[in-house]
Structures are given as structure tokens and as C-alpha cells.
């Protein structure tokens, strides 16, 4: 398949997930839930942060992605909306100001997007801010799937326009002591990017929630 037919068309639709955990725009049917890696903490006991705060982890995986050798996304913020309150920002892994992930390397795998202590309570939404996206066609990226910075691979590439870099996921959850909670998100590269002509590409992020543990 040529790269001009690999990436699909879709409106700016986010994978909204109902309280039952099923996305209305990004289906996870046919694939098994991705279990959090040992580093994610799962729902095992974990040291709490400041008084009244518990550990929350956001993991990222990707549905099968075709043709392109790499798709680098740089996230500028991950946050959660507290019921009756405001948005609470979750720190990126390692405390970096942003985090870049290669969706190609996340096919069938997962990596940490954000992790840290947040106030205990009831949350209603997750929000991701995507700052930039670039697709690469000739060579894979070298290094981990996610890192504060990933060196761009050599060869042909194209920037991906993001009309709205904000992705909101409707999923209620309760963060309680003393357990750590891990949420796994599926960022579907094949359904998120399409070619608009003249070698230009556009991204309308499609994200689903695989599991909350």
C-alpha cells in the first residue's frame, strides 16, 4: 500500500468513551484489552503523594498502523477534570515539559505518557493536548517508543496539520487511597491521519480508552 492511501479520512472526531468504557468513535472490538506493563503500577498499592493525593498513570498504545515507518506525536499536556472542580494537570514521565511518542512503536505495546500524584476524588474526563505530529516514510525512529525528545529519522517526511490539538475523553473514574490507578489509552494512528493532497496530511485524533485499573 502506498503512503498516499495509508492514512484515512475522518472528521475531527475524538474517541468518546461512555461510562461503560466503550468508545463511540474508536472501537476496540476484535482486540483484547492491553494489560498495564509492570512499570505502570496497575492497581497495586503504591506510595501516595502529598496528603489527600494518589498516584495516577496514563499509558499509551496504538492500534495497527500501516505503511509509514514512524509517526511522532509531541504531547504538551495531559490533564483530568475533577467533578465539581477544575482540570488537574498530570506530570509527564520524568517531569519533562512535553513528551514525544512514536505510534509505530506502540503497535501491540505501550509506554508511559503521564504519571504522578493527583488529588483523590471523582473525575469525569481526560484531556490530551497534541502540539505537533510528523509522519516518516523511509526509516524508523531510533530509541524508545516515548521520551522527552525523539530524534527524527532520516528520509522523506511530512508534517501533519492538527486543526484542534485538544482531545477529550469522557470516562468517569474515582481516584482513591492507597491504590495507584492506571488508564490505558489507544491512539489509533490509522484512523487519525489522512492525506489531503499535494503531499499534505491532517490529523483528527481518534483515541479510545482500553482499560482503567
pLDDT number for residue 63: 75
pLDDT at residue number 53: 93
Q: What is the pLDDT along the chain (213 residues), one digit of tens a residue?
A: 333 333 333 333 333 333 333 333 333 333 333 333 433 333 333 344 456 899 999 999 987 667 789 999 999 999 999 999 999 999 998 889 999 999 999 988 899 999 999 999 999 999 999 999 999 999 999 999 999 999 999 999 999 998 888 899 999 999 999 889 999 999 888 888 888 888 889 988 889 999 998
The SS3 of residue 202 is strand
- pTM of model > 0.85: no
Cα–chain center distance at 11? 19
- The rounded distance, in Å, linking the Cα atoms of 70 and 153 is 8
2 C-beta neighbours (distance < 10 Å), count: 8
Residue 43: per-residue pLDDT: 35
Which distant-in-sequence residues (6+ apart) come within 8 Å of 175 by Cβ?
54, 56, 118, 119, 120, 121, 123, 181
Assigned C-alpha cell, 148: 522527552
Amino acid at each position: 500500500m502506498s503512503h498516499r492511501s495509508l492514512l484515512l479520512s475522518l472528521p475531527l472526531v475524538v474517541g468518546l468513551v461512555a461510562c461503560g468504557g466503550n468508545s463511540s468513535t474508536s472501537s476496540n472490538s476484535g482486540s483484547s484489552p492491553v494489560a498495564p506493563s509492570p512499570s505502570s503500577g496497575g492497581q497495586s498499592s503504591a506510595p501516595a503523594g502529598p496528603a489527600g493525593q494518589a498516584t495516577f498513570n496514563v499509558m499509551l498504545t496504538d492500534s495497527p498502523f500501516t505503511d509509514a515507518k514512524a509517526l511522532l506525536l509531541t504531547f504538551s499536556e495531559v490533564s483530568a477534570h475533577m467533578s465539581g472542580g477544575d482540570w488537574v494537570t498530570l506530570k509527564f514521565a520524568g517531569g519533562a515539559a512535553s513528551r514525544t511518542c512514536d505510534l509505530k512503536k506502540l503497535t501491540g505495546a505501550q509506554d508511559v505518557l503521564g504519571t504522578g500524584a493527583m488529588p483523590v476524588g471523582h473525575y469525569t474526563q481526560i484531556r490530551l493536548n497534541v502540539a505537533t505530529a510528523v509522519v516518516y516514510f523511509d526509516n524508523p525512529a531510533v530509541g524508545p517508543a516515548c521520551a522527552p525528545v525523539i530524534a527524527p529519522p532520516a528520509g522523506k517526511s511530512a508534517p501533519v496539520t492538527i486543526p484542534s490539538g485538544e482531545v477529550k475523553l469522557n470516562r468517569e473514574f474515582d481516584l482513591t487511597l492507597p491504590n495507584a490507578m492506571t488508564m490505558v489509552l489507544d491512539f489509533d494512528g490509522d484512523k487519525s491521519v489522512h492525506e489531503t493532497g499535494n503531499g499534505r496530511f491532517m490529523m483528527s485524533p481518534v483515541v479510545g480508552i482500553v482499560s482503567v485499573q
